[in-house]
Amino acid sequence: AEENAVAAVQMAYVWLADRRRGVKHPAGFFYPHSSSTSGLRQIEQYAPVMTDVADRKVLAMIRNLLDDESVQSVGDLKAYLRSKVA
Please give the share of the chain, as a percent, with pLDDT higher than 70. Answer: 58
What pLDDT is recorded for position 70? 94
pLDDT in tens, 21-58: 555 444 444 444 445 555 555 655 666 566 677 788 88
What pLDDT is recorded for position 64? 93
What pLDDT is recorded for position 27? 47
d(CA 9, CA 54) in angstroms, rounded, equals 15
User: Are the C-beta atoms of residues 72 and 1 closer than 8 Å to each other?
Assistant: no
Identify which has the larger pLDDT, 22 or 11. 11
Overall domain count for the chain? 1
Burial of 82 (0-12, 13-18, 19+ CB in 10 A): exposed
Residue 33: phi, psi to the nearest 5? -85, -5
Domain residue limits at 62: 2-84
Among residues 73, 72, 49, 62, which one has the least CA distance to residue 11? 62
> What does pLDDT average to over the chain?
74
